[in-house]
């Protein structure tokens, strides 16, 4: 009995001594057993689930709701690292790039502080690796207004076609590719779908950037040659953007894991929600919404970047995001407002052409007000079928813009050449060309998830 007791005590002491080491090992785990944390979400697109992904989901225990919670969101991210580490020259190159730009890191992490709690929460709900919360560092520098030359938009950089595949509404009034909640849900659903397809998070990330078809073809090529099909073995077949994509994420992951090692500091992000969703009961001007919430317009837009126009439409299904402490102010100020919440309505062009100056006179405003509200360039005329925002007049003071109008509105224009025949035709963002237009349609082709799909981003 005495010998057994001594043995037990010695074993307990050994476990206590090893506990810190085990904790550090878990942060940097590269074991296949902890490679991924598959989703439990029921809204994944139909896909061929890999055997590895299914087996791992079945073997992994459910996350305990009683597990100790970090006090800082960065700590939660580090604790949930679960993608195998890369260690090569590209990672070292990108670590050097990021770590020698403290101003860039400061701007990016300051923007990220609004969104990270929500992203990490969603990842943990789905059982996904938390370093995926750092992917917007690479995609957009956490700028939800980022737009690439390939028309990829938002924090997660969805091109229009892929955005529609994931039910991100895109019209004249709203582009949900920029919406914080909607785009995060779509991005995580897509990433999980890609992991289920490949059974490997590094390949899933490559597919997010390059396209799943491109990764599948690269795998088949290496298989035919008897070569490995992991990310590093396939990297030589990838375009430069994709070849650098996972190393960039690894570089950011290394810096977030130990910022002091690189002479950097991170802003404190409390482990609590930054924003909450507020129901909207009628049309409301963006500036009035910001005023009621006692926020600057820039801060309001940072949480609600999906709204393209000066009025927020959409009826009861549309919500706005506000910082926790400003939501109560919004409700109190709204109850005391006593005035119209929206000063805008819509007007549909029925004539073949209509000059902005004529419309401005009709609605008692200036041409510049109409151009700015509808993103219409100088020296342009609107064509039949266009639906534009105009200031409300007495007959429309209490009338909201219907969801049908908002969903189907287009803004189409031609060059105003002072009575001369126009030689070009342009559909505004979210618009379509009128079939009867007797001039050439100018239409940009936007690639889907293909090599270089994102192009240069205006993200900083």
Contacts of 105 (CB under 8 A, 6+ apart): 98, 99, 255, 264
How many whole angstroms separate alpha carbon 293 and alpha carbon 301? 12
Q: Please, are residues 402 and 423 in contact by the beta-carbon 8 Å criterion? A: no
Instruction: Phi first, then psi: give them for residue 345, nearest 5 degrees.
Output: -140, -175
Handedness of CA 118, 123, 129, 135 (dihedral sign): negative
Partners of 307 in the beta sheet? 174
Q: Where are the alpha helices (DSSP H) in 258-308?
A: 286-292, 297-303
Q: Which of 56, 139, 176, 354 is catalytic?
A: 139
How many whole angstroms separate alpha carbon 321 and alpha carbon 301? 9
Q: Can 139 be counted among the known catalytic residues?
A: yes
Rounded to 5°, the CA angle 54-60-61 comes to 140
Q: What b-and-e string marks burial along 192-227, b requiring 16 or more CB atoms within 10 Å of the CB?
A: bbbbbbbbbbbbbbbbbbbbbebbeebbeebeeeee
How many whole angstroms separate alpha carbon 79 and alpha carbon 82? 9
CB atoms within 10 A of CB 357: 13
Could you tell me where the beta strands, DSSP code E, fall in 302-436? 311-312, 319-323, 344-348, 353-355, 380-383, 387-391, 412-415, 425-427
Tokens of 278: 């507020």
Q: Please, are residues 428 and 172 in contact by the beta-carbon 8 Å criterion? A: yes
Q: Is 65 helix (H, G, I), strand (E, B) or coil?
A: coil
How many whole angstroms separate alpha carbon 132 and alpha carbon 269? 17
For 108, 113, 126, 220, 240, the CA distances from 228, given in Å and listed in that order, are: 36, 39, 30, 10, 20
Rounded to 5°, the CA angle 188-203-453 comes to 70
CB atoms within 10 A of CB 348: 13
DSSP string, 196-253: HHHS-HHHHHHHHHH-HHHHHHHHHHHHHTT---SHHHHGGGS-HHHHHHHHHHHHHH
Question: Which amino acids are annotated catalytic?
Answer: 139
């Amino acid at each position: 009995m005495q010998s057994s007791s001594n043995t037990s005590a010695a074993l307990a002491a050994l476990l206590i001594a090893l506990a810190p080491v085990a904790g550090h090992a878990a942060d940097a785990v590269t074991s296949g057993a902890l490679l991924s944390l598959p989703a439990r979400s029921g809204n994944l697109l139909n896909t061929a689930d890999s055997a590895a992904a299914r087996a791992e989901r079945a073997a992994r225990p459910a996350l305990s709701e009683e597990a100790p919670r970090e006090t800082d969101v960065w700590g939660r991210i580090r604790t949930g690292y679960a993608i195998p580490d890369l260690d090569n020259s590209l990672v070292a190159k990108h670590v050097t790039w990021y770590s020698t730009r403290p101003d860039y890191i400061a701007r990016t992490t300051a923007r990220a502080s609004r969104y990270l709690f929500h992203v990490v929460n969603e990842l943990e709900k789905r059982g996904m690796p938390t370093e995926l919360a750092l992917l917007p560092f690479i995609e957009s520098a956490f700028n939800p207004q980022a737009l690439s030359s390939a028309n990829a938009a938002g924090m997660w950089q969805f091109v229009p076609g892929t955005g529609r595949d994931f039910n991100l509404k895109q019209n004249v009034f709203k582009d949900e590719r920029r919406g914080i909640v909607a785009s995060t849900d779509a991005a995580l659903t897509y990433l999980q779908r890609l992991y289920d397809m490949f059974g490997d998070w590094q390949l899933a990330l490559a597919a997010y950037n390059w396209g799943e078809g491109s990764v599948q073809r690269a795998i088949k090529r290496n298989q035919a040659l008897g070569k490995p099909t992991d990310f590093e073995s396939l990297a030589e077949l990838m375009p430069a953007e994709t070849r650098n994509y996972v190393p960039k994420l690894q570089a950011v992951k290394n810096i977030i894991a130990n910022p002091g090692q690189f002479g950097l500091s991170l802003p404190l992000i409390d482990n609590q929600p930054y924003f909450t969703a507020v129901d909207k009961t009628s049309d409301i001007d963006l500036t009035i919404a910001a005023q009621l919430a006692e926020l600057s317009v820039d801060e309001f837009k940072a949480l609600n970047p999906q709204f393209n126009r000066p009025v927020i439409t959409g009826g009861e299904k549309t919500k706005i995001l506000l910082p926790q402490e400003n939501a109560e102010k919004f409700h109190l100020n709204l109850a005391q407002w006593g005035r119209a919440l929206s000063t805008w309505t819509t007007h549909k062009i029925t004539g073949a052409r209509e000059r902005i100056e004529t419309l401005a006179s009709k609605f008692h405003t200036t041409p510049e007000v109409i151009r700015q509200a509808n993103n219409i360039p100088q020296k342009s005329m609107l064509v039949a079928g266009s639906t534009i925002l105009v200031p409300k007049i007495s007959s429309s003071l209490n009338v909201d813009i219907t969801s049908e109008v908002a969903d189907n509105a287009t803004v189409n224009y031609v060059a105003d050449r002072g009575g001369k025949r126009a030689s070009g035709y342009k559909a505004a963002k979210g618009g379509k060309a009128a079939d009867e237009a007797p001039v050439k349609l100018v239409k940009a082709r936007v690639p889907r998830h293909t090599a270089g799909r994102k192009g240069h981003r205006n993200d900083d």
